[in-house]
Amino acid sequence: MSNFTLIIGNKNVSSWSLRGWLAIKHANVDFNEILINLRPECEYDKLNALTPAGKVPTLKIGEDQFVWDSLAIAEYFNDISQDISYWPNDIEERAHARSVSAEMNSGFVALRSIMPMDCLNKYDRPEMTSDLKKDIDRVIEIWSECRNKYAAKGSFLFGEYSIADMMYAPVVFRFKGYGIELPDVIETYCSAVISLPDVQEWLEECDPNDKG
């Protein structure tokens, strides 16, 4: 039996769960999953009984150690994974990757609330409020800058797949699900994320009846 249990929400709609799940998958470790239904009604009793912060994703290590918040989970697997890359090696690039990841983790409130992630279903383009437009423009700015700077190193934000891509993967599904028009360079980046084997495995386990 594995030492790791990842507690997550409904795969089709739980964007933070997707980030934490991509982080543990990248580590190539065995893990158990516990699914907590967040929709249509949140199973608060189960959520609060199983997680210290009442949030998914939460990683349980052994019987009594917990790591919560998707970025903390990703950092934990970075720390324990000797030969697997989670951040760029270069210090300046790593600082850049950490900055855009932290920006995702703490911001983009309009994008998150007006365009909830729903991996499998399609929705009409929402009304473009100034806050939503600001968030979408900022994501496009971040991704474009990264792709322009690091394209020679690979297909992802910092060339090689990193925590930054895990943090922004749910935004790829938001853009696709709500038909947001994107520059070609961003379309290409979105396709690279969707083609990742780990992302494809997540999609296979999504239930389209779980609605965002």
Ligand X SMILES: N[C@@H](CCC(=O)N[C@@H](CS)C(=O)NCC(=O)O)C(=O)O
Distance, CA of 146 to CA of 10 (rounded, Å): 30
CA distances from 149 to 36, 139, 142, 162, 189 (A): 39, 15, 11, 15, 13
Residue 152 is classified by DSSP as G
Joined tokens for residue 70: 């998707």
Out of 24, 38, 119, 182, point to the residue binding ligand X (CB under 6 A): 38
Q: Which CB sits closer to ligand X, 70 or 155?
A: 70
Nearest-CA neighbor of 136 among 176, 185, 171?
A: 171
Cβ 72 to ligand X shortest distance, Å: 8
Element (H, E) at 141: helix 130-150
- Shorter beta-carbon distance to ligand X: residue 108 or 150: 108
* Contact map string, positions 133 to 172, toward ligand X, x by CB under 6 A: ----------------------------------------
Please list, residue by residue across 120-140, b when 16 or more beta carbons sit within 10 angstroms of its beta carbon and e when fewer do.
Answer: beeeeeeeeeeebeebbeebb
| 101 lies in the site for ligand X, by CB under 6 A | no
- Segment lying near ligand X (by CB under 6 A), choices 14-22, 88-96, 172-180, 191-199: 14-22
How many Cβ atoms from other residues are within 10 Å of residue 65's Cβ?
Answer: 10
d(CA 55, CA 14): 11
Residues that bind ligand X (rule: CB under 6 A) add up to a total of: 15
Regarding 105 and contact with ligand X (CB under 6 A), the answer is: yes
15 contacts ligand X (rule: CB under 6 A): yes
56 binds ligand X (CB under 6 A): yes
CB of 148 to ligand X, least distance (A): 27
| DSSP string for 172-212 | HHHHHHTT----HHHHHHHHHHHHSHHHHHHHHT--TTS--
Choose one: 12-20, 122-130, 135-143, 170-178; the region binding ligand X (CB under 6 A): 12-20
100 binds ligand X (CB under 6 A): no
Please say which residue, 75 or 131, places its beta carbon nearer to ligand X. Answer: 75
Residue 198 CB, nearest approach to ligand X (Å): 18
Q: Give the interface with ligand X as residue ranges (CB under 6 A).
A: 9, 14-17, 38, 42, 54-57, 69-71, 105
